[in-house]
C-alpha cells in the first residue's frame, strides 16, 4: 500500500530533496500542506502535482 500523505521529512526523502526545499516551497505557496496538528503533511497527489510543475530544462549555472 502506498502512502497517501507525507511529513516534510518524508516528502523530502521521496523527492530526493532537502526538508528545507520542501518547507520553502510550502512557505511560498507552491506546495499546499495540510495541518492535522502543528506539523505539516503533504498529500501524495499534491507532491506529484508539484513535481510535474517543475521546469524540464536544466537551469544555467552562472560563472
pLDDT digits (tens, 9 = 90+) for 1-52: 678 999 999 999 999 999 999 999 999 999 999 999 999 999 999 999 999 9
With respect to residue 24, please indicate whether it lies within any of the assigned structural domains: yes
pLDDT of residue 31: 98
Residue entry with cell 506546495: 31
Is the pLDDT confidence value at 62 over 90? no
H helices then E strands: how many in the chain?
Answer: 3, 2
Total count of domains within the chain: 1
What is the pLDDT confidence band of residue 61, given thresholds at 50, 70 and 90? Answer: confident
With respect to residue 59, please indicate whether it lies within any of the assigned structural domains: no
Q: Please give the C-alpha separations between residue 48 and each of 18, 22, 24, 38, in angstroms, as whole numbers.
A: 16, 13, 17, 23
pTM: 0.87
Nine-digit cell string for 24: 520553502
With respect to residue 38, please indicate whether it lies within any of the assigned structural domains: yes
With respect to residue 39, please indicate whether it lies within any of the assigned structural domains: yes
Nine-digit cell string for 48: 506529484
With respect to residue 30, please indicate whether it lies within any of the assigned structural domains: yes
58: number of Cβ within 10 Å: 6
Amino acid at each position: 500500500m502506498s502512502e497517501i500523505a507525507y511529513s516534510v521529512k518524508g516528502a523530502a526523502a521521496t523527492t530526493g530533496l532537502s526538508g528545507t526545499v520542501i518547507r520553502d516551497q510550502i512557505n511560498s505557496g507552491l506546495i499546499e500542506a495540510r495541518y492535522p496538528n502543528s506539523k505539516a503533511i503533504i498529500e501524495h497527489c499534491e507532491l506529484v502535482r508539484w513535481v510535474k510543475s517543475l521546469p524540464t530544462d536544466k537551469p544555467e549555472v552562472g560563472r
